[in-house]
Amino acid sequence: MVSVSPVIGLLGGGQLGRMMIQAAHRLGLQVVVLDPDPKGPAAQIADDVVVGDYADRAALRALAERAQVFTTEFENIPSASIRFLAQYGPTYPDAASVELAQDRRKEKTLFAKAGIPVGPYITLNSLSDFEIVKRSHFPAILKTAQLGYDGKGQLSVNSLDELSHAFQELGSVPCVLEKKLSLKAEISVVIARNAQGHVAVFPAAQNEHRDGILHTSDVPVTLPQNVVQQAEQHVKTLALKLGYVGVLALEFFWVEDLGLLANEMAPRPHNSGHYTMDACPTSQFEQQARICAHIPLGPTRLQFACRMTNLLGDLWFPDGPNKPMREPDWSQLVPPDDAWLHLYGKTEPRPGRKMGHITQKLGDA
């Protein structure tokens, strides 16, 4: 009997979903997308689209009628929706893992239980918690406990007075106050773990952020090999503790006096892993598709040193955000040799919006 590959049901219609669909199609797999936007980056190339809210039970049932296995492309999908879909087929990742990644308080508690160090922080659920904040906690960054990404939902604070104003500006919702640290480097590690417990680790990326948004990822990293191995072990430990199945990323800070500290996890392919599309035999997106289709994981070795650079919507407004938009001059932006341009199919460029990325070969691995 010939086995039939399952149809993948994808929650989310952004660029990560688009790149996963591209990888799935190369494997001969079909993907159905659930997204409120029928013309989003993923929906443009999906085999089928269910238009609806991620919490809409009717839309979820329609997805379940068309697919046999389910995955996500961003972590702010309601965990209740993932639990609902689990009645119809396996979900990679599971609802519990996504739920932990959605709340910085739960995430940091998870890291501590797994023996993964984190930087100094305080949980602030309401104004009454401010009495435990001391001057020594500043300077700091106040982050909403939920729904923050790419620099959103966070503000720098240098005093109790600034903290009070920032807390109100963020809506007086539960937050974590993280002490600012003197960072020597930021790195991330992406792994894939399948239902059989097999793990494939991608080479670590060294990241530079601008205004809270990832700007570049360089591979390989410049940190000592024992630090890289420690980071890889932390991610594998985390995946094992969660019983995680899917693609998982963990971001780290390297602080000279404190060593390697976990920042946050992402239960999905990660922006810093986009280089794998060009520099590794198997991309992070193909691993996600392989896991869903129960295909063995592919090799992850680095084939050449590279840099991934994000392309933001600002490039479409070279004369300023209030001036007319125009297409970037790609002949000037993309190196003529050993470079790969990836555009996400977004029709509305905006400052700070990720529109694509470039991977450039820097040398031999």
2 belongs to a structural domain:
no
What value does the mean pLDDT take over residues 116-123? 95
With H, G, I as helix, E, B as strand and everything else as coil, classify residue 9. Answer: strand
227 belongs to a structural domain:
yes
DSSP state of 204: P
Residue 255 has pLDDT above 70, yes or no: yes
Taking the C-alpha atoms of residue 337 and residue 324, their distance in angstroms, rounded to an integer, is: 31
- Say which range, 2-16, 27-41, 186-200, has the weakest mean pLDDT: 2-16
Domain enclosing residue 76, as ranges: 8-92
Domain boundary among 92, 109, 143: 92
Residue 67, beta-bridge partner list: none
| Pair 126, 77 in one domain | no
pLDDT of amino acid 364: 83
Distances (CA, A) of 334 to 16, 272, 349, 361: 21, 19, 18, 12
What value does the mean pLDDT take over residues 292-296? 98
Taking the C-alpha atoms of residue 341 and residue 275, their distance in angstroms, rounded to an integer, is: 11
Assess contact for 219 and 208: CB atoms under 8 A.
no
Residue 310 has pLDDT above 80, yes or no: yes
pLDDT of amino acid 149: 64
Distances (CA, A) of 145 to 22, 132, 167, 185, 340: 33, 18, 12, 24, 36
CATH of the domain at 302: 3.30.470.20
Distance of CA 114 to the CA centre of its chain: 20
| Pair 161, 194 in one domain | no
- In what helix (H) or strand (E) does residue 124 lie, and over which residues does it extend? strand 121-124
What value does the mean pLDDT take over residues 175-181? 94
Q: What is the pLDDT of residues 297-307, one digit of tens each?
A: 999 999 999 99
Residue 88, φ and ψ in degrees, nearest 5: -105, -20
| Pair 200, 73 in one domain | no
Nearest CA-CA partner of 120 in 107, 132, 108: 108
pLDDT of amino acid 3: 53
| Pair 147, 166 in one domain | yes
Taking the C-alpha atoms of residue 183 and residue 336, their distance in angstroms, rounded to an integer, is: 34
pLDDT of amino acid 234: 98
| Pair 259, 199 in one domain | yes
With H, G, I as helix, E, B as strand and everything else as coil, classify residue 98. Answer: helix
Residue 67, φ and ψ in degrees, nearest 5: -130, 160
Residue 148 has pLDDT above 70, yes or no: no
101 belongs to a structural domain:
no
109 belongs to a structural domain:
no
pLDDT of amino acid 152: 73
What value does the mean pLDDT take over residues 317-322? 90
Domain boundary among 179, 204, 229: 179
| Pair 29, 59 in one domain | yes
Residue 219 has pLDDT above 60, yes or no: yes
Burial class (CB in 10 A: 0-12, 13-18, 19+), 244: buried
What band does 150 get if pLDDT is binned at 50, 70 and 90? low
pLDDT of amino acid 153: 84
CATH of the domain at 37: 3.40.50.20
Nearest CA-CA partner of 289 in 14, 16, 60, 43: 16
| Pair 165, 219 in one domain | no
| Pair 151, 83 in one domain | no
pLDDT of amino acid 257: 87
What band does 355 get if pLDDT is binned at 50, 70 and 90? very high
| Pair 56, 86 in one domain | yes
108 belongs to a structural domain:
no
What band does 136 get if pLDDT is binned at 50, 70 and 90? confident
With tokens 């879909």, the residue in question is: 85
Taking the C-alpha atoms of residue 12 and residue 87, their distance in angstroms, rounded to an integer, is: 19
Taking the C-alpha atoms of residue 156 and residue 166, their distance in angstroms, rounded to an integer, is: 8
3 belongs to a structural domain:
no
Q: What is the pLDDT of residues 80-96, one digit of tens each?
A: 999 999 999 999 999 99
| Pair 174, 202 in one domain | no
Residue 359 has pLDDT above 90, yes or no: yes
pLDDT of amino acid 67: 98
Rounded to the nearest integer, the mean pLDDT of the chain is 95
Taking the C-alpha atoms of residue 155 and residue 124, their distance in angstroms, rounded to an integer, is: 14
pLDDT of amino acid 297: 98
Counted domains in the chain:
3
Residue 144 has pLDDT above 70, yes or no: yes
What's this model's pTM, rounded to 2 decimal places?
0.94
| Pair 187, 259 in one domain | yes
Distance of CA 138 to the CA centre of its chain: 28
CATH of the domain at 127: 3.30.1490.20
284 belongs to a structural domain:
yes
Q: What is the pLDDT of residues 34-50, one digit of tens each?
A: 999 999 999 999 999 99
| Cα distance from N-terminal residue to C-terminal residue, the chain | 43
What value does the mean pLDDT take over residues 73-83? 94
| Pair 249, 342 in one domain | yes
More reliable by pLDDT, 330 or 148 = 330
272 belongs to a structural domain:
yes
What band does 1 get if pLDDT is binned at 50, 70 and 90? very low
What band does 210 get if pLDDT is binned at 50, 70 and 90? very high
